[in-house]
Every structure is written in C-alpha cells, then in structure tokens.
Amino acid sequence: MGLPARAGRRPQADIDTWRARCFAGALVALGVALVSPLDALSSALASAHMVQHVLLVLVAAPLLALSASSVTLLRGSPLVVRQAGARWRRRLRLTGPHLRALRDPVTLWLAHVGALWVWHAAVPYDAALEHEPLHILEHVSFLVTAVLFWRVAIGTRGAGRVSNGLGVLLVFAMALHSTFLSALLTFAPTPWYSAYAATTRTWGLEPLTDQQLAGAIMWAPAGLLYAGTALALLVAWVRATEDDAAVPVPSSRG
C-alpha cells in the first residue's frame, strides 16, 4: 500500500498531502465513533457498539498508521514539549531494545487480538458498559493496539513496517480470528451480554437478534476491510517482485 505520486509534483509534498488526508479521515472516524449519537446508542444496542469498534479498529486506526501523525505532531511541537516527551520516554524506558516489542509484528498481533477477545467476553463487556472509566479503557486499548498493529502492517518504513508479504499474512490471520469471534457472536444460542437485556426492545430488537446483528457487522463489513487491505498488500508484493525480476543482472564478463 504505497503513497500516491503524481507527475509534476514534489514527492514529499504529495506524501504530506496524502498523510494529511488520512489524518483528517481518522479524526472524522473518531468523531463519529465517540462523539456522535452513536456513542449513546452503543449503551442500548450491541450492534451500535460493534459499529463503534469497527470504526476505531478498522477505519481510524489504519488511517492514523498511514498518516504517521506522531512524527508530524512531534516535529511541529514546541521545544519544551519535545524535551518533556524525551524525558518521559527515558523514564518509561521506551528507548533502544525496549522499543522492539512495540515493533515486533507477532507481539503486536497478539496484543490486538488479546484486547479484542478480552473486551468481547461477557464479564468485561458488561463491566465496561456499567462503568465509564472501564468503557474508556476498552476503547483506548482497542485503538492503541490497533494503531500499533496497522503501523507494522501498512505504516511507514520508519515505524517498523514489515514486508508486503508478511503484511498479507498478518492481515489474513487477523481476518481469521475476527471471523471466528464474529461467528461465535452470530450463532450463539443465548445472548452473551446481560447489560442489553432491558434496552434492545425499545428499538424493536430482541437481545439475541441484536447480538446476531453485531456479529454480522463484525463478520461482513470488517471482513471486507481486512480482505481489501490484504489484497492491496498482495498486489503491491507481486508488483515489487515483478519489478525486481525485470531488473537486468549485470554481466560478470569484462
């Protein structure tokens, strides 16, 4: 998934424009997920809550990864902010070898998958709906682990992005786990979440029907987004391989 490059324009200007658009799109997705009426509706319907999760994990997070916003924001911050950030990184030991875990694709894949499974289990899910601090923690864990995952899958090289071939495997594996979790939600014989027992009927839905709709939202739209990303990475990988094969090998003869 490369950045666009138009003829007649400076490559860096083109990259900056592309990243700015990705960042703006991420802000819109975050606004819809967390500030719009969708947020209030998510306390009444599991299906609305699932739309929130899809927006955070599969729209806002990859757009933030593509925008490389942390580098741009840090570069444009006042000196005192940059110095404070450096001090905190040293205090938290987020330097050198300690940063490798934040760039290891398998570790980040497991962290994101773990966050999704933990918060979709019945007890943590109901607790998050009942206690706002836990609800905030749930969304923060989704967004942070998703951004870290997408950075290595489709982000910039400076963020530790893996090859397109490994990116295809990572995204495909993420799609498989998402499909399995969504199937469990969709085909469960009873509702998982007691918090929606008295809220869904106001909207003309039985709790189990609402849960099945939530599973379908995770299954279909989310599956299409994962598949589209994996396909784009696969195409880029094949093209790069073809370009490498087309480069003539210098003759060793004098």
Query: Is residue 251 situated within a structural domain?
Result: no
Query: Is residue 234 situated within a structural domain?
Result: yes
Tokens representing 154 are: 């489709």
In the chain, % of residues over pLDDT 70: 76
Q: By three-state DSSP, how is residue 190 classified? A: coil
What's the CA gap between 198 and 86, in Å, rounded?
49
User: What residues make up the domain containing 75?
Assistant: 11-245
pLDDT of 158 over the 90 cut: no
Tell me which residue of 60, 57, 67, 77 sits closest to 23, measured CA to CA. Answer: 67
Query: Is residue 115 situated within a structural domain?
Result: yes
Query: Is residue 60 situated within a structural domain?
Result: yes
First to last CA, the chain: 40
Query: Is residue 80 situated within a structural domain?
Result: yes
Q: Is the dihedral of CA 226, 229, 232, 237 positive or negative?
A: negative
What's the CA gap between 125 and 136, in Å, rounded?
12
Average pLDDT, the chain: 82
Query: Is residue 49 situated within a structural domain?
Result: yes
Q: What is the reported pTM?
A: 0.81
Least confident of 137-141, 170-174, 250-254: 250-254
Tell me which residue of 159, 182, 211, 158 sits closest to 58, measured CA to CA. Answer: 182
Cβ 167 vs Cβ 150: under 8 Å: no
Per-residue model confidence as pLDDT tens digits over 46-96: 999 999 999 999 999 999 988 876 555 445 444 554 455 556 556 656 555
Output the pLDDT for position 70.
56
Burial of 3 (0-12, 13-18, 19+ CB in 10 A): middle
Average pLDDT (31-58) is: 94
Per-residue model confidence as pLDDT tens digits over 183-224: 999 999 999 999 999 899 999 999 999 999 999 999 988 889
Tokens representing 61 are: 């997070």
Query: Is residue 3 situated within a structural domain?
Result: no
Output the pLDDT for position 89.
59
Name the DSSP letter for residue 250: P
**Number of residues that this document lists for the chain:** 254
Query: Is residue 74 situated within a structural domain?
Result: yes
Highest mean pLDDT among 84-93, 120-129, 148-157: 120-129
Q: Into how many domains does the chain fold?
A: 1
Tokens representing 110 are: 């497991």
Average pLDDT (164-191) is: 93
Output the pLDDT for position 86.
56
